[in-house]
């Protein structure tokens, strides 16, 4: 019997860094991971394991700011969130308004949407 017939190969473009490795995961019939190959660093393997089970994403956007050099303050999350919750976070920060001065790294919204990550300022303003 051909062993390959029982396995499925899935190719991923790793998004962890700009290198963009092509990572191939080999799964058995039941969807269990047999091997992960093509990743340059261990983070690629973690990425692919997450993609196959619960895809995670970073999210960046802006919030309103009063008294700054510009009217928008760029923000980033302190960690990744489930991909399907991105729009919930966008909704949660849409009405947030802060006042200058803000320091880079300041928490703008703590534990956003109960996801255990904070929305933090990407820059001082």
Partner 1 sequence: MITRELVIIGGGSAGIAAAIAAYNKGCRDILLIEKDPELGGILLQCIHNGFGLHRFGEELAGPAYAEKWTDMLGSTAVEVKCSTTVIHLTGDRHITYVNPEEGYVTIEAKAVILAVGCRERSRGAIATPGYRPSGVWTAGTAQKYLNIQGYMVGKKVFILGSGDIGLIMARRMTLEGARVLGVAEIMPYSNGLPRNIKQCLDDFDIPLYLSHTVTDIRGKDRLSGITISKVDENLTPIPGTELDFDVDTLLMSVGLIPDTTLFDEAHISLNRKTKGAVVDEHMMTDVPGIFACGNGLHVHDLVDFVSMEGEEAGNGAVAFLRDELKPADRLSLSPGEGVSYVLPMYICPENMEEKTEIKLRVTGVMRDVSLVLKSGDKKIAEQKKLKIQPSEMEKLIVKRDDLAGLKGELVLSVAKA
Summarize as ranges the residues that interact with partner 1 (CB under 8 A).
12-18, 20, 22, 57-62, 64, 69-72, 74-76, 83, 86-87, 90, 104, 122-124
Q: Which is nearer to partner 1, 27 or 88 (CB)?
A: 88
**Smallest distance, Å, CB 118 to partner 1?**
14
Burial of 73 (C-beta count, 10 Å sphere; 0-12/13-18/19+): buried
**Smallest distance, Å, CB 5 to partner 1?**
27
**Smallest distance, Å, CB 34 to partner 1?**
22
Sign of the torsion formed by the C-alpha atoms of 45, 48, 52 and 57: positive
Task: Classify 51 as helix, strand or coil.
Answer: helix
24, 76, 78, 85: which is closest to 55 by C-alpha?
85
Q: Which is nearer to partner 1, 57 or 113 (CB)?
A: 57
């Amino acid at each position: 019997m051909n062993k390959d017939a029982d396995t499925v190969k899935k190719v991923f473009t790793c998004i962890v860094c700009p290198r963009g490795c092509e990572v191939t995961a080999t799964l058995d019939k039941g969807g269990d991971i047999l091997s992960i190959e093509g990743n340059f660093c261990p983070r690629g393997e973690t990425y692919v394991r997450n993609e196959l089970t619960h895809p995670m994403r970073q999210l960046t956007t802006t919030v309103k700011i009063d008294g700054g050099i510009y009217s928008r303050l760029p923000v980033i999350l302190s960690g990744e969130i489930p991909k399907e919750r991105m729009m919930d976070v966008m909704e949660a920060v849409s009405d947030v308004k802060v006042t200058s001065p803000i320091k880079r790294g300041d928490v703008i919204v703590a534990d956003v949407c109960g996801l255990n990550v904070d929305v933090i300022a990407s820059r001082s303003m």
